[in-house]
């Protein structure tokens, strides 16, 4: 058996034609099985592409006797991580366990043992990307993490490699399939939030405990990874201002639709002249916006580069085979680097800019206020908001003879702080203003 370094030397010197590359998998759940199934379905294609064979040498699981979604020799299953991390025959370790520990420790240890790593673990990458990039660099190995954001959509590769000649000015995306599915069902079928969540759980798009998805934390993890990739900025995912979709009602979606807008959970990072505006929040987007047509469990990312202009990537953001496809792509990339004598060690290691991170900056807003239906109310609202520099682009009032009616405004661009002050003053007119029922950002195109 050849050790990784010896194998690379032989490959570089062209002394080996079809040397087998040995891979160790940490985890054989949804994504791990997808990877094994892709290897066995596409063996010929893969061999032709990299000029060598890949062998899954060992697979770490918790329970050896559990039924599996992929066919493989039971004898390669192990419950001892050392069979992979300390195995001199294994060149590439693929971490597909999930959670932060022990995944983080295993990834780090694999790199310290001079093994390349591929992972789809957003929690680990979002929390520890700086340390992991530095470990990769120090040990002259690669760490790849395409599957951690956007499932099967090649977002990381596009930003890192294909757009390497661009300054990235902005990213806006739908990067959580669970919430997009829920919002789609609420919008298309008039379901309540709870009904749509239940449907998502039945279809396997939402976990039994859906809080990380519906509170926006999953999207914040992914946005932190995108910010590191696109802007070289390491931001703790817990520091990203984040709001989920739990307060969105089917009525809100209907009101927005009547005005020609769709409600989406957006992850946004925009370079505004040295300030990085970054947040996860529900927003309304005009029906003509490219992200408005992204429905159900699909994901999409709109990227703005100073050379390429606007570019949108769309596809399945999760699932065994789509995510497995991203993982296999990373593995093949590493093998090609090994064969081509390319320099390894993550090129993302150095944080490369000093953008000032800001939360919500300026924006246009959708505001729904419940008011008493009587003459002069609109005047009170526009005058009060005007005093705070908030100008109104459009207003819609519905009166069906009830005492309390909704008034919906879309504002021009305004600082969030000014908006909050204006709305706070408006709440003082409690004889006519009963409730500021909803505030959503408007993302234009």
Ligand X SMILES: NC(=O)c1ccc[n+]([C@@H]2O[C@H](COP(=O)([O-])OP(=O)(O)OC[C@H]3O[C@@H](n4cnc5c(N)ncnc54)[C@H](OP(=O)(O)O)[C@@H]3O)[C@@H](O)[C@H]2O)c1
DSSP label at 126?
H
Instruction: Restricting to residues 150-179, name those near ligand X by CB under 6 A.
Output: 151
Q: What is the rounded distance in angstroms from the CA atom of residue 396 to the CA atom of residue 284?
A: 16
348 forms part of the interface with ligand X (CB under 6 A): no
Q: Based on CB atoms, which residue is closest to ligand X, 124 or 348? A: 124
Token pair of 205 as six digits: 């798009």
Q: Nearest distance from residue 437's CB to ligand X, in Å?
A: 35
Stretch that binds ligand X, among 23-31, 136-144, 185-193, 283-291 (CB under 6 A): 23-31
Q: At its nearest, how many Å lie between ligand X and the CB of residue 151?
A: 5
Contact pick of 7, 8, 21, 31 for ligand X (by CB under 6 A): 31
Regarding beta strands 309-316 and 298-305, do their DSSP bridges make them parallel or antiparallel, or are they unpaired? antiparallel
Of 39-47, 95-103, 249-257, 390-398, the segment contacting ligand X by CB under 6 A is 95-103
Beginning with the edge strand found earlier in the chain, give each strand of the sheet holding 143-144 in spatial order. 77-78, 53-60, 20-26, 92-95, 116-119, 143-144
Which residue minimizes CB distance to ligand X?
Answer: 29
Q: How far is the CB of 278 from ligand X (least distance, A)?
A: 21
Q: Do 102 and 124 form a contact (C-beta atoms < 8 A)? A: no
Asked if 66 touches ligand X (CB under 6 A), the answer is yes
151: left (phi over 0), alpha (psi -120 to 50) or beta: left
Closest CA to 357 of 255, 195, 218, 232: 232
Which helix (H) or strand (E) segment holds residue 276: the answer is strand 275-286
Asked if 60 is part of the footprint of ligand X (rule: CB under 6 A), the reply reads yes
Q: Choose which of 8, 11, 23, 27 interacts with ligand X (CB under 6 A).
A: 27
| Site map 288..327 versus ligand X, x via CB under 6 A | ------------------------------xx---x----
Residue 148 or 344 with smaller CB distance to ligand X? 148
Note whether 127 and 116 are within 8 A (CB): no
Question: Partners of 357 in the beta sheet?
Answer: 276
Query: Which H or E run includes 62?
Result: none
Window contacting ligand X (CB under 6 A); options: 117-125, 279-287, 384-392, 399-407? 117-125
Supply 32's token pair: 């791990």
Closest CA to 126 of 206, 228, 274: 228
Residue with Cβ nearer ligand X (85 or 433)? 85
Residues 421-440 that bind ligand X (CB under 6 A): none
Residue owning tokens 């934390």: 217
Q: In the complex with ligand X, which residue's Cβ is closer, 62 or 188?
A: 62
CB atoms within 10 A of CB 38: 21
Q: Between residues 58 and 279, which has the closer beta carbon with respect to ligand X?
A: 58
CB of 121 to ligand X, least distance (A): 4
Are the CB atoms for 29 and 96 separated by under 8 Å? yes
Q: How many CA atoms lie within 13 A of 285 on its CB side?
A: 21
Q: Which stretch binds ligand X (CB under 6 A): 40-48, 56-64, 388-396, 434-442?
A: 56-64
Q: How far is the CB of 327 from ligand X (least distance, A)?
A: 8
Instruction: Say if CB 235 and CB 227 are below 8 A apart.
Output: yes
Q: 309 and 76 in contact (C-beta within 8 Å)?
A: no
Crossing angle of the two packed helices 43-50 and 30-41, in degrees rounded to 10: 80
Among 4, 22, 24, 30, binds ligand X (CB under 6 A): 30
Q: Which is nearer to ligand X, 154 or 406 (CB)?
A: 154
Q: Which of 7, 97, 171, 321 binds ligand X (CB under 6 A)?
A: 97
Smallest distance, Å, CB 324 to ligand X?
9
Count other C-beta atoms under 10 Å from residue 316's C-beta: 18
Nearer to ligand X, 327 or 408 (CB): 327
Rounded to the nearest whole angstrom, what is the least distance from the CB of residue 61 to ligand X in the complex?
A: 4
Among 8, 11, 28, 219, binds ligand X (CB under 6 A): 28
Which residue numbers are catalytic?
A: 222
- What H or E segment, with its residue span, contains residue 57? strand 53-60
Q: What is the footprint of ligand X within residues 369-398 (CB under 6 A)?
A: none
Which residues contact ligand X by CB under 6 A? Answer: 27-32, 60-63, 66, 96-98, 102, 120-122, 147, 151, 318-319, 323
């Amino acid at each position: 058996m050849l050790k990784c370094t010896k194998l690379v030397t032989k490959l570089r010197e062209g002394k080996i034609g079809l040397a087998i590359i040995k891979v160790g998998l940490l985890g054989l759940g949804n994504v791990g099985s997808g990877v094994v199934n892709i290897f066995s379905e596409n063996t010929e294609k893969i061999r032709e592409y990299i000029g060598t064979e890949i062998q899954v040498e060992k697979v770490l699981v918790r329970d050896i006797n559990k039924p599996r979604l992929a066919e493989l020799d039971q004898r390669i299953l192990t419950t001892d991580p050392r069979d992979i991390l300390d195995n001199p025959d294994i060149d590439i370790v693929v971490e597909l366990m999930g959670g932060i520990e022990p995944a983080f420790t295993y990834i780090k240890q694999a790199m310290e043992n001079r093994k390349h790593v591929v992972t789809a673990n957003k929690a680990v990458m979002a929390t520890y990307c700086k340390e992991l990039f530095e470990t990769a660099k120090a040990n002259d190995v690669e760490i790849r993490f395409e599957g951690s954001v956007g499932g099967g959509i090649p977002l990381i590769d596009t930003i890192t490699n294909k757009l390497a000649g661009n300054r990235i000015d902005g990213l806006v995306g739908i990067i959580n399939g669970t919430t997009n599915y829920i919002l789609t069902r609420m919008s298309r079928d008039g379901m309540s939030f709870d009904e749509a969540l239940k449907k998502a759980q039945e279809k396997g798009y939402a976990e039994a405990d859906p809080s990380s998805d519906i509170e926006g934390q999953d999207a914040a993890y992914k946005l932190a990874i995108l910010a590191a990739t696109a802007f070289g900025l390491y931001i703790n995912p817990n520091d990203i201002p984040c709001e989920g979709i739990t307060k969105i009602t089917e009525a809100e979606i209907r009101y927005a639709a009547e005005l020609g807008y769709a409600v989406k959970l957006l992850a946004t990072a925009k370079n505004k002249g040295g300030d990085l505006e970054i947040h996860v929040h529900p927003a309304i987007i005009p029906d003509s916006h490219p992200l408005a047509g992204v429905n159900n469990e699909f994901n999409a990312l709109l990227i703005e580069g100073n050379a390429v202009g606007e570019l949108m990537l769309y596809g399945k953001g999760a699932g065994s085979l789509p995510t497995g496809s991203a993982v296999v792509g990373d593995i093949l990339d590493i093998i090609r680097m090994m064969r081509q004598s390319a320099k390894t060690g993550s090129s993302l290691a150095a944080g490369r800019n000093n953008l000032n991170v800001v939360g919500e900056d300026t924006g246009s807003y959708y505001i729904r206020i419940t008011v008493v239906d009587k003459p002069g109310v609109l005047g009170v609202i526009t005058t009060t908001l005007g005093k705070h520099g908030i100008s109104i682009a459009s207003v819609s009032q519905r009166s069906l003879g009830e005492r309390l009616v909704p008034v919906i405004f879309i504002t021009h661009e305004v600082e969030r702080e000014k908006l909050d002050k204006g709305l706070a003053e408006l709440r003082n007119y409690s004889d006519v203003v009963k409730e500021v029922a909803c505030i959503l950002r408007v993302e234009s195109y």
